[in-house]
Amino acid sequence: MRYNNYKKRNKQRLIAEINVTPFVDVMLVLLIVFMISAPLLKTGVEIELPEVDTPNIPEKKDPLIITINKKNETFISKKKMDFESLNNKLSEVKRANPKIQVYIRADKSVTYDVLMKVMKQIIDGGITNVSLITLPKK
């Protein structure tokens, strides 16, 4: 009899509410992970773009992006190219896609001379659809 009374007194009622504490913990951890990893998703060669007040051009699919950094080094994506290999690569790209759009990202310290040499390489490769990338003026 004693055992029965003990069982009845310690019987707990079920709680019908959802415990959100573990859910909040998981969401905060995910938020921290995304906040840390978001800046790492930025790709390309690190440069300082000039700020110019120009209208935005809508992007077409799969443009070719050529980057010129402060040291006047030329890159396609993240691959460093000299002028000879750049010319060969542009010719290959033109053969593969005759309507290719080329964007040039040049550091603001790059001289006009270097920029024009790269543009000449692009035009010599048979590509005439070329645009320059800048940052919007603040």
The tokens of 85 are what?
């290999």
- pLDDT higher for 21 or 4? 21
Asked whether the predicted pLDDT for residue 10 surpasses 80, the reply is: no
- What is the C-alpha to C-alpha distance for residues 67 and 133, in angstroms, rounded to an integer? 10
- Judged on CB neighbours under 10 Å (0-12, 13-18, 19+), 86 is buried
The tokens of 52 are what?
């110019």
For residue 85, give its domain range.
Answer: 51-136
- pLDDT higher for 116 or 46? 116
- What is the C-alpha to C-alpha distance for residues 102 and 127, in angstroms, rounded to an integer? 8
pTM over the 0.75 mark: no
- What is the C-alpha to C-alpha distance for residues 67 and 132, in angstroms, rounded to an integer? 10
Residues 60 and 121 in one domain: yes
- Note the pLDDT tens digit of each residue in 45-60: 677 777 777 655 555 5
Tell me if residue 72 falls in helix, strand or coil.
Answer: coil
The tokens of 7 are what?
């069982």
pLDDT, residue 31, reads 92
Residues 74 and 124 in one domain: yes
The tokens of 81 are what?
């190219």
Residues 16 and 77 in one domain: no
Question: Within a domain: residue 45?
Answer: no
pLDDT, residue 25, reads 92
Q: Are 67 and 45 in contact (CB under 8 A)?
A: yes
pLDDT, residue 5, reads 55
Question: Within a domain: residue 16?
Answer: yes
As for how many domains the chain has, the answer is 2
